[in-house]
Amino acid sequence: MADLRAAPREYVWIARMWVRSSLAYPLSFWLLTLSSALITLLDFVGLALMFHTVSALGGFGLREVALLYGASGIGIGVADLVIGSVEQIGVHVRTGTLDSMLTRPVPLLVQICADRFAIRRLGRITQALAVFGYGAWWVDWTPSKCGVAALMVVSSCLIFFSFFVAFSCIQFWTLDSTEFANAFTYGGNTMTQYPMTIFPREVLKGLTFVVPVAFVNWYPCLYLLDRPDPFGMPPWFAVFSPVVAALTLTVAGLAWRTGVRHYTSTGS
Amino acid sequence: MLYAAVAARSFRRFSTYRTATLAGIFTNSVFGVIYSYAYLALWHQRPDAGGYDATDAVTYVWIGQALLMTVALWGGGTTDDLADRIRTGDVAIDLYRPVSMVGWYLAGDLGRATYHVLTRGVAPTVLGLLLFRIALPGTTAAAVGFVVSLVLAVVTSFAIRFLVACSAFWLLDQTGVRTLSGVLAIFLSGMTLPLVIFPEPLRSIALALPWASYLQTPADIWLGHRAGTGIVSGIAVQALWIAVLLALCQVVLGAATRKVVVQGG
Amino acid sequence: MNLIDVRDLARTFVVRKRSGTFTRLRSEVRAVRDLTFAIEAGEMVGYIGPNGAGKSTTIKMLTGILVPTSGHLRVAGLEPSRERTELARRIGVVFGQRTTLWWDLPLRDSFELLQKIYRVEQARHRRNLDEYVELLDLGDLLDTPVRQLSLGQRMRGDITAALLHDPEILYLDEPTIGLDVVSKGRLREFLRTLNAERGTTLMLTTHDLQDIEALCDRVIVIDHGTAVFDGALEELQRRGESRRTLVVDLVDEAPPICVDGAETHRVEGPRQWLSFPAGASAAPIVAAVAAAYDVADLSIQEPDIEEVIREIYAGA
């Protein structure tokens, strides 16, 4: 248990090394920072251009979509910043750095996630916060809505956390399957940037019960926006996100343990 | 003949990454489904946005997913090898090879693109056909024009990626420039949103830039929004940009060679 | 109590080979089998064997990276794969061909990070760092980014990094590979001092027989996954008398060279290969050859491990 308590501190120590490392090539550092700012900017410009053409998408206006977009963006942004590097498992196995990490007295997940920590990913979070703020400006806030919003943001981060870890673990079995995980992490983010009403009912069911990204923002946002559920799902789904987050975290934890066990029992 | 051999070798090399290909097809398909529904919602509201109808819009999505890897929109391909060889200094060997270096890497990249279009191009398209209503090229001219335009798209993208890789001659590390270039390519090729629904003057500017060649031009030929002389003019603009960009590649390479010769790498 | 205790250790890998487009053949490879040895605190042991003999599989099991298929394994009283993190604090590992230092940062920064993650008290860290910097002559390099260090300097940095937390055991995998003669010598000298003064147990895998000669009182030879020899170096040399090779480039082609103390076993154009006992001096043979023939160039090849092992089998 002592190990787990020290984990956040150890994470910060290692992450700080990588931030300083990245400053060794200042031009690349600034170009990457610029690119990453531009990516998030252009991503939002794409959405804004859509609303330049139409006034509503799936029955939701720009302000409402901004709330969805922001909530999902904060989640993926935080998860990507903190543990996005877990995608590199395959590379660590191939180059043998995983073995070196296994001989250090720091939990493997901490080492892998802190590896190549990139401060520039803060840009995405900042953009998402701004868009979320714009959407939130038009919400009729009540104490209970504040509570739901807080739970939503935390759950959103945790659900994307779990996706990053769980789907990256596939690489313990097949090394070059990074892109497969992207379908769920970045794909999950793209799906939840739009109101679920653009999808057919079957897709929504899949995104609720199988790959539960709808809990990232959709159900809580319906409550914040005082909208009845267009698909007739139970209203308490609005506060169910933390439970879903706990579930996905458990699955991710199991996937991680199984993956590491597989690695240490096959060495490949 | 030599270039054909280089292309064939590159084709085989990329065909060894089987799981990566499968994973990529899966991911392309997921994004294809998401964007299809998003565009359907948009065109439901404005059934003639950008001169497209809903079927055109969904077809455009799947052409985009099919070309994402083929045209190497995010970067990648043989130009990454080049950047690596510049960093390690091995590029000196390439510079003294008695064949055109641009030709050598281009041939390799065409081999790669052939593999990617046959796997990561065809598979999502078939899936799109099964799941959604997709338009196929209406005329032989459109089909032939699309293939020609696609080849030119790969060459255009290659030339830009080659220039990006050459930045490593001066910066040692191409990652910053490569990422920035990828970001611009994604937006200005029409991958984020079709260029035809951009508001003016952004629309005209984007359509005149080389990135329009990556996706918008081939897609418009496929969809029949460019027909007859429209096909010819579209291809002519692509060819013009290729001429400019490849000439630029030669100039940059000349400068780089002098740098390598003078400074010894 | 033994510091490292290995009994009937075995490790089997399942290998799937593609036999058709969709079919795969499943087969088992026994990378390590019936492996038994014990190492006491303070020993310096060479762990040698040809490529693919099971050396790295053994080291991976000893460090807890790999779970054994069967058998008994204790390192410092711990079961490595179950108590990996606990064990990590008590061992040091150096992989010769890859560095664990931060590539773009000064050496000093890597050392400071290791101090934190191994929770070494400031005073002890200072003392250790001063001592190793002194012994390994790293003083001027502490503020140099690792990428600017030579291979030998980097290896010294890596070894310091592995020792800052006072490990009881140091595993070294090919520590001298790619180093020049001076660097090799300095490194061996350091490892001897470390063992003598601190009593650190050393276990090294290497292809370089001179590493073994300079450092190890004891050698374990592994082949096909099991120990085929465990004993003193002299004993090993007696069993498989190793021979060195003198490669002679003559100005012109000639019939096989005849000199005392060496025999010619290969001729290719003007180049000839003469072998002689590793224990004997090369000087009289070189002199004899140079006196009798027009020599363009000469070189001496040291016997490699693989050859010695072949000799063991030939002698058995």
Lateral strand order in the sheet of C70-75: C24-39, C4-18, C70-75
pLDDT band at B265 (very low <50, low <70, confident <90, very high): very low
Q: Which residues of chain A neighbour C91 with C-beta distances below 8 Å? A: 103
Q: In whole numbers, what is the pLDDT of chain B averaged over residues?
A: 91
Residue-level pLDDT at A2 = 52
The residue-averaged pLDDT of A185-190 equals 94
Query: What is the tens place of the pLDDT at every residue in A127-161?
Result: 999 999 999 999 999 999 999 999 999 999 999 99
According to the 3-state scheme, what is the secondary structure of B25-56? HHHHHHHHHHHHHHHHHHHHHCCCHHHCCHHH
Inter-chain Cβ pairs, chain A and chain B, closer than 8 A: 110
Rounded distance between C-alpha atoms, residue C309 and residue C212, angstroms: 14
Q: How far apart (Å, rounded) are the C-alpha atoms in residues C7 and C72?
A: 5
For residue A107, the 8-state DSSP code is -
Determine which of A6-15, A77-86, C260-269 has the lowest per-residue pLDDT on average.
C260-269
| C265 Rama class: left (phi>0) / alpha (psi -120 to 50) / beta | alpha
Tokens linked to C137: 């002559």
Q: Which carries the bigger pLDDT value, residue C20 or residue A63?
A: A63
Q: What is the DSSP string of chain B?
A: -HHHHHHHHHHHHHTT-HHHHHHHHHHHHHHHHHHHHHHHHHHHHSTTGGG--HHHHHHHHHHHHHHHHHTTTTS-THHHHHHHHHHHTTHHHHHTSSS-HHHHHHHHHHHHHHHHIIIIIHHHHHHHHHHS--PPPSSHHHHHHHHHHHHHHHHHHHHHHHHHHHTHHHHS--HHHHHHHHHHHHHHTTSSS-GGGSPTTHHHHHHHSGGGGTTHHHHHHHHTSS-THHHHHHHHHHHHHHHHHHHHHHHHHHHHHHHHHHHT-
Average pLDDT value for residue range A81-95: 91
Contact B19 A182 (CB under 8 A): no
Interchain proximity A100–C13, CB inside 8 Å: no
Question: With contacts defined as CB-CB under 8 Å, which chain A residues touch C84?
Answer: 102
The 3-state DSSP class for residue C263 equals: strand
List CB contacts of A241: < 8 A, sequence separation 6 or more: A151, A152, A155, A156, A159, A215, A216, A219, A220
> What's the mean pLDDT in B35-59?
93
ipTM value greater than 0.95? no
Q: Which chain C residue's Cα is nearest to A26? A: C104
Helix (H) or strand (E) holding C136: helix C122-136
**Chain A closest CA to C235's CA: distance in Å?**
34
Number of H helices, E strands in chain A: 12, 2
Nearest CA in chain A to C106: A21
Which residue from C176, C55, C83, C162 is spatially nearest to C117, judged by alpha carbons? C162
Chain A meets chain C (3+ C-beta pairs below 8 A): yes
Residue whose pair of structure tokens reads 């220039």 in the numeric block: B163
Query: In terms of CA atoms, which chain C residue is nearest residue A15?
Result: C113
Side-chain-facing half-sphere of B61: CA atoms under 13 Å: 28
Of all residues in chain A, what percent are helix, strand and coil, respectively (each to 5)? 80, 0, 20
Contact criterion met (CB below 8 Å) for C253 and C269: yes
Where do the CATH 3.40.50.300 domains begin and end in chain C?
Answer: 4-239
Q: Residue A176, Cβ neighbours under 10 Å: how many?
A: 18
Q: Touching check for B170 and chain A: CB below 8 Å?
A: no
- CA-wise closest residue to C169 among A161, B21, A103: A103
Band (C295; pLDDT cuts 50, 70, 90): confident
**Which residues in chain B are closer than 8 Å to A58, comparing Cβ atoms?**
41
The residue in chain B having the minimum alpha-carbon distance to the alpha carbon of residue A197 is: B41
In sequence order, what are the beta bridge partners of A60? Answer: A57
Using the beta-carbon criterion (under 8 Å), do A100 and C102 form an inter-chain contact? Answer: no
Q: Do residue B176 and residue A177 have CB atoms under 8 angstroms apart?
A: no
Q: Is B179 on the interface with A (CB under 8 A)?
A: yes
Helix or strand or coil: residue C76? coil
Q: Can you give the pLDDT at residue C240? A: 61
C113–chain A nearest CA distance, Å: 7
A20 touches chain C (CB under 8 A): yes
Residue A204: how many CB atoms within 10 A of its CB?
19
Identity of residue A195:
P
Residue of C nearest to A263 (CA): C66
A105:C88 CB<8 A: yes
Helices marked H in C41-117 — which ranges? 55-63, 84-88, 107-117
The residue ranking higher by pLDDT, C96 or B68, is: B68
**By CA distance, what is A42's nearest residue in B?**
B187
Q: Phi/psi of residue C299, each to 5°? A: -150, 155
Angle at A233 between CA A228 and CA A234, to 5 degrees: 90
| Stretch (H or E) spanning A147 | helix A143-168
Contact list in C for residue A10 (CB cut-off 8 A) is: 116-117
Least confident of A43-47, A139-143, B127-131, C129-133: A43-47
Q: Which residues contact B88 (CB under 8 A, 6 or more apart)?
A: none
Token duo for residue B100: 């055109």
pLDDT given for residue C21 in this prediction: 65
Task: Check CB contact under 8 Å for B173 and A28.
Answer: yes
Which residue ranges does chain C devote to CATH 3.30.70?
Answer: 243-315
Place of tokens 């179950």: C82
Q: Which chains touch A (3 or more CB pairs under 8 A)?
A: B, C
How confident is residue C304, by pLDDT bands cut at 50, 70 and 90? low
Residue in the block written with tokens 């319906």: A222
C248-275 average pLDDT score = 86
The shortest CB-CB distance from C89 to any of A21, A105, A264 is to A105
The three-state secondary structure class of C23 is: coil
Q: Does A267 touch chain C (CB under 8 A)?
A: yes
Is pLDDT above 80 for A229?
A: yes
Enumerate the β-bridge partners of residue C93.
Answer: C171
Which among C91, C309, C310 is positioned nearest to C219, based on CA atoms? C309
Mutation site for C-interface testing, chosen from A4, A19, A95, A103 by largest number of C Cβ within 10 Å: A103
Q: How far is C-alpha A266 from the chain's CA centre? A: 30
CA terminus-to-terminus distance, chain B? 31
* Residue C35, token pair as written in the block: 């492996």
Supply the mean pLDDT for chain C.
87
Euclidean distance between CA atoms B177 and C238, whole angstroms: 62
Alpha carbon of A149: minimum distance to chain C alpha carbons (Å):
37
| Residues of chain C contacting residue A14, judged by C-beta atoms under 8 Å apart | 113, 117
Q: How far away is chain A from the Cα of C239, in angstroms, using its nearest Cα?
A: 35
Is residue B42 less than 8 Å (CB to CB) from chain A? yes
Given a contact as 3+ CB pairs under 8 Å, which chains touch C? A
Which residue among C65, C91, C105 sits closest to A99, beta carbon to beta carbon?
C65
Q: At residue C293, what are phi and psi to the nearest 5 degrees?
A: -130, 160
Count of the separate structural domains present in chain A: 1
Q: Chain A contacts of C102, Cβ < 8 Å?
A: 17, 21
Residues of A with CB under 8 A from a CB of B: 25, 27-32, 34-36, 38-39, 42-43, 45-46, 49-50, 52-58, 174-180, 182-183, 187, 190-191, 194, 197-200, 203
Cβ–Cβ below 8 Å for A13 and C14: no
Of A32, A36, A49, the CB nearest to B193: A49
Q: Is the dihedral of CA B9, B10, B14, B15 positive or negative?
A: negative
Q: How confident is the model at residue A30 (pLDDT cuts 50, 70, 90)?
A: confident
Q: Which range is least confidently modeled, B192-196, B248-252, B258-262, C287-291? A: B258-262
pLDDT-above-90 percentage for chain A: 72
CB pair distance less than 8 Å for C88 and A100:
no
Asked if omega into C277 is within 30° of 0 (cis), the reply is no
Query: At residue A90, does pLDDT exceed 70?
Result: yes
SS3 C120: coil
C191 phi, psi to nearest 5 deg: -65, -35
The rounded distance, in Å, linking the Cα atoms of C167 and C93 is 9
Q: Is the pLDDT of residue B254 over 80?
A: yes
Between the alpha carbon of residue C207 and those of residues A234, C45, C88, C204, the distances in Å are 69, 14, 26, 10
DSSP state of C75: E
Which DSSP string do the residues of A184-252 spell out, in sequence order? HHHHHHHHTTS-GGGS-HHHHHIIIIIS-THHHHHHHHHHHTT---TT---GGGGG-HHHHHHHHHHHH
- The yes/no answer on whether domain C243-315 falls in CATH 3.30.70 is yes
Minimal-distance CA residue of chain A relative to B27: A183
Query: What mean pLDDT is predicted for residues B226-249?
Result: 95
Is residue C32 within a helix (H) or strand (E), and if so which, with residue range? strand C24-39
- Residue A179 to residue B23, Cβ atoms within 8 A: yes
Residue recorded with tokens 């082949």: C223
Mean per-residue pLDDT for A72-76? 95
Give A30's contacts in chain B (Cβ within 8 Å): 176
Nearest to C145 by CA among C98, C95, C109, C115: C109
Query: Is the pLDDT score of B43 beyond 60?
Result: yes
Give how far the C-alpha of residue B253 lies from the chain's centroid of Cα atoms, to the nearest Å.
Answer: 22
Provide the domain limits for residue A155.
2-266
Set of chain A residues whose Cβ sits within 8 Å of the Cβ of B180: 31, 34-35, 38
B contact test, residue of A21, A23, A27, A31 with most B CBs within 10 A: A31
**Average confidence (pLDDT) over A16-33:** 88
Q: How many CB pairs under 8 A join A and C?
A: 70
C65/A103 touch (CB, cutoff 8 Å), yes or no: yes
DSSP conformational letter for C50: -
Are the CB atoms for A87 and A180 separated by under 8 Å?
no
User: In C, what residues contact A, Cβ < 8 A?
Assistant: 13-14, 57, 60, 63-67, 81, 84-86, 88-89, 91, 93, 95, 98, 100, 102-105, 109-110, 113, 116-118, 145
Which residue of A41, A53, A94, A167 to mutate against B (max B Cβ within 10 Å)? A53
Mapped onto helix, strand or coil, the DSSP state of residue A63 is helix
Task: Output the pLDDT for position A1.
Answer: 45
Reported as type and span, the H/E element at residue A131 is: helix A122-136
What pLDDT is recorded for position C313? Answer: 57
Q: Please, which pLDDT band fits residue C296 given cuts at 50, 70 and 90?
A: confident
Domain spans of chain B, in order of start: 2-263
Asked if A226 is an interface residue toward chain C (Cβ–Cβ < 8 A), one would say: no
Question: Beta strand pairing status for C218-223 and C226-232?
Answer: antiparallel
Out of 3.40.50.12280, 3.40.50.920, 3.30.70.20, 3.40.50.300, select the CATH number for domain C4-239. 3.40.50.300
pLDDT band at residue C181 under the 50/70/90 scheme: confident
